[in-house]
Amino acid sequence: MNTITKLINEFSLKEIGATFAVLFAVIDILGSIPIVVSIRSKVGHIQSEKATIVAGLLLISFLFFGTKLLGVVGVDVQSFAVAGAFVIFIIAVEMILGIEIQKGVEPNSASIVPIAFPLIAGAGSLTTVLSLRSQFEDINIVIAIILNMLIVYLVLKFAGNLEKWMGPGVLSVLKKVFGVILLSIAIKLFTSNLGALFHATV
């Protein structure tokens, strides 16, 4: 009962909204529609359900076990968050300037690689999940991940239709808008966690 009460107290629509927006921008599934369509045309079929479930499990697993993994190599969450801020900053700059991010090679079966990893649950999104943990409650991040995975599933399922409906112009604008959002988030992550590291060493 105490665990349930704790989760209820930690539940926050504001935090869910904030983490959802960050992950949505980092994953950038809308901007990846042309890539998804290209891969599907080459391999014939993408298992949307499998790709979504695997990507979601990777993100949630890294959320809970990423810190322990960092502990093994002697890195704290704040240091990782600062490093994550740099990664997010680079992704944001690439999105704003229209530079294409390398998504990996395309194997015969694309549902897991490169769709689930690294297109959805790649270095940027995994880093972001752990970086967000330094500022938000786990329950809100998990809910945000699940909500993002629902959108990912729909996009994977109807990527061809979405590409025709939105057009390259709209996709380009969305990419730049989310890039600006990511840039501001990267700066916030950097300043807040760098301050925590500075006070810890003083």
pLDDT tens for residues 148-165? 999 999 999 998 787 778
Alpha-carbon gap, residue 18 to 185, rounded angstroms: 10
Among residues 83, 164, 161, the alpha carbon closest in space to that of 124 is found at: 83
Q: DSSP for the chain?
A: -HHHHHHHHH--HHHHHHHHHHHHHHH-TTTTHHHHHHHHHHHS---HHHHHHHHHHHHHHHHHHHHHHHHHTT--HHHHHHHHHHHHHHHHHHHHHTPPPP-----S-TIIIIIIIIIISSHHHHHHHHHHTTTS-HHHHHHHHHHHHHHHHHHHHTHHHHHHHHHHHHHHHHHHHHHHHHHHHHHHHHHHHHHHHHHHH-
Q: State pLDDT tens for residues 59-83.
A: 999 999 987 887 888 877 777 777 7
Q: Is the dihedral of CA 11, 13, 14, 16 positive or negative?
A: positive
Residue 106 has pLDDT above 50, yes or no: no
Q: What is the pTM of this model?
A: 0.73
Whole-number Å distance between alpha carbons of 47 and 113: 11
Cα–chain center distance at 20: 9
Token code pair at residue 129: 């999940």
CA–CA gap between residue 129 and residue 22 (Å, rounded): 9
User: Where residue 109 falls among pLDDT bands split at 50, 70, 90?
Assistant: low
- Tell me the mean pLDDT in the region 25-33: 83
Is the model more confident about 136 or about 99?
136
* 65 in Cβ contact with 129 (< 8 Å): no
Taking 70 as the threshold, does the pLDDT of residue 103 lie above it? no
- Helices 138-157 and 33-43 cross at an angle (nearest 10°) of 50
Q: According to the model, what pLDDT value does residue 1 have?
A: 53
